[in-house]
Amino acid sequence: MSYIYGLLTGAISALLNLMHSLTGNFGVAIILATIVIKIILLPLTLKQDRSMKSMKVLQPELEKIKQQYQNDPKMVNQKTMELYQKHKVNPMGGCLPLLIQLPILWALFGVLRDPANVPQESSFLWMQLINPDPYYILPVLNGVVSFFQQKLMGSSDNPQMKNMMYIFPLMMVFISYKMPAGLQIYWLTSSVASVVQQYLIMKKGD
């Protein structure tokens, strides 16, 4: 894990410094580096979208299995896995991009804390990049964008998804309000890019 973390921090540091050499500001460099990372992860995002669409198509069949074997949880699991295998659907496929983003977030945190990569006095707009947003504007924006993201991807027919549409944005505000502003800029840019990507994917269709 430490080897992978070292590779990630090295790659992100090189990308961030390249963008800084082009723009002269580490805040703008973080935004541009985030867009580059999103483009690199685009194939995984498309795979996630296909996985979510497949899961939505299979939902009626999954409900039938639950109804048919409601008194036999073991058989429900067996028939569910058989259905996934038959249609070549990975139920964890929709989580992959999010799981990959987490180590990127930690690696970026390590890069921002290292004065050799980002000077401690680096600022963007009203914020010092190594400190949390003093006015909590970025955490609130993260929550708002997260709400639109959940609304775009969610389904009003699914009670659990409907609840998550409101719970997850509040969690985002709570999680991010103490993050360094640099990480908040990364997360906000990544979320906005995800909303734009999802809108274009839905508009484009298959």
Q: From its phi and psi, is residue 194 left (phi > 0), alpha (psi between -120 and 50) or beta?
A: alpha
- Give the residue from 9, 15, 42, 11 showing the smallest Cα distance to 29: 15
Q: What's the per-residue H, E or C state across 70-97?
A: CCCHHHHHHHHHHHHHHHCCCCCHHHHH
The answer to whether residue 5 scores a pLDDT higher than 90 is no
Q: Encode pLDDT of 28-83 as tens digits.
A: 999 999 899 888 888 877 777 777 777 778 888 888 888 888 788 888 888 888 88
- Write down the residue that tokens 């010092």 correspond to: 128
Range 112-129 average pLDDT: 81
pTM: 0.75
Q: pLDDT tier at 92 (50, 70, 90 boundaries)?
A: low
Domain ranges within the chain, ordered by starting residue: 2-204
> Which tokens in the block code for residue 26?
């580490």
pLDDT score of 102: 77
pLDDT score of 28: 93
> Which tokens in the block code for residue 80?
């569910």
Range 123-145 average pLDDT: 88
Range 154-171 average pLDDT: 66
Could you tell me what percent of the chain has a pLDDT over 70?
87
The answer to whether residue 178 scores a pLDDT higher than 70 is yes
pLDDT score of 23: 92
Q: pLDDT tier at 19 (50, 70, 90 boundaries)?
A: very high
What's the chain's average pLDDT?
Answer: 81
The answer to whether residue 114 scores a pLDDT higher than 90 is no
* DSSP assignments along 113-161, one per residue: H-TTTS-TT-EETTEETTS--TT-HHHHHHHHHHHHHHHHH--TT-HHH
